[in-house]
Homo-oligomer: A and B are copies of this chain.
């Protein structure tokens, strides 16, 4: 029998991590998420994933048809967004209050997001003054799982002379973030595309109307801009 999710569905830490991965892999694409994709994202083996998918299916947070990938259910989406909310609120706390660098917060938040206490999150949210975005520019869902997304475009997609503001990064790895720090790029920076090099697609960018810098197409592809 399927789990009667009358009231509250409780997930283990492992289940929360898998569900979050599935949610993220679902974003954009309408087609199901494959076992291999989940395994890659979670750094586990496909066999382990199959097992977990069965369990998540029984709990009705995903729709699971063997061999055909999974779709997240509404209930699952709500739970995933709750975990994401907690993750991002903790990241804000670490950066704003404990002076962590933005490349130091992810691993710790990955643990903190599993602390079970609605009161804690409610109070933390208030303490942080109800932030709308995390240190990487990602939106923080509200307690009902609603996210207000900003329209944004990858920097490498912009044309010469277009302007905007860096609002987020696609890649939150420490290596990438430290590279941005070194270059002098940061969330909130006003930018203008000065040139796009034919040869390798790299870009020349004007930052805050004073500094110009070059970045590879690859780097620019992981910077998200709100155009203006």
Q: Say if the beta carbon of A146 comes within 8 Å of chain B.
A: no
* Distance in Å: Cβ of A13 to nearest Cβ of chain B: 10
* Distance in Å: Cβ of A130 to nearest Cβ of chain B: 14
Contact B117 A108, beta carbon cutoff 8 Å:
yes
Q: Which chain B positions have C-beta within 8 A of A115?
A: 108, 111-112
Contact A127 B108, beta carbon cutoff 8 Å:
no
Q: What separation, in Å, do the CA atoms of A119 and B106 have in the docked complex?
A: 13
Q: What separation, in Å, do the CA atoms of A159 and B98 have in the docked complex?
A: 46
A residues 113-153 touching B (CB-CB < 8 Å): 115-117, 119-120, 123-124, 127
Q: What separation, in Å, do the CA atoms of A117 and B117 have in the docked complex?
A: 20
Q: Which chain B positions have C-beta within 8 A of A107?
A: 117
Q: Say if the beta carbon of A100 comes within 8 Å of chain B.
A: yes
* Distance in Å: Cβ of A94 to nearest Cβ of chain B: 8
- Report A89-102 CB contacts with B as 1/0, cut-off 8 Å: 00000100111100
Contact B119 A104, beta carbon cutoff 8 Å:
yes
Contact B123 A98, beta carbon cutoff 8 Å:
yes
Q: Which chain B positions have C-beta within 8 A of A97?
A: 127
Q: What separation, in Å, do the CA atoms of A151 and B33 have in the docked complex?
A: 62
Q: What separation, in Å, do the CA atoms of A120 and B104 have in the docked complex?
A: 10
Q: What separation, in Å, do the CA atoms of A115 and B13 have in the docked complex?
A: 13
Q: What separation, in Å, do the CA atoms of A83 and B127 have in the docked complex?
A: 25
Q: What separation, in Å, do the CA atoms of A117 and B100 have in the docked complex?
A: 12
Contact B98 A127, beta carbon cutoff 8 Å:
yes
Q: Which chain B positions have C-beta within 8 A of A124?
A: 98
11 intermolecular pairs with C-beta atoms under 8 Å apart: A94-B120, A98-B127, A99-B123, A100-B119, A108-B115, A108-B117, A108-B119, A111-B116, A111-B117, A112-B112, A112-B115
Give me 17 other A-B pairs in contact (C-beta within 8 A), A99-B123, A108-B115 excluded.
Answer: A94-B120, A98-B120, A98-B123, A98-B124, A98-B127, A100-B119, A100-B123, A104-B119, A107-B117, A108-B117, A108-B119, A108-B120, A111-B115, A111-B116, A111-B117, A112-B112, A112-B115
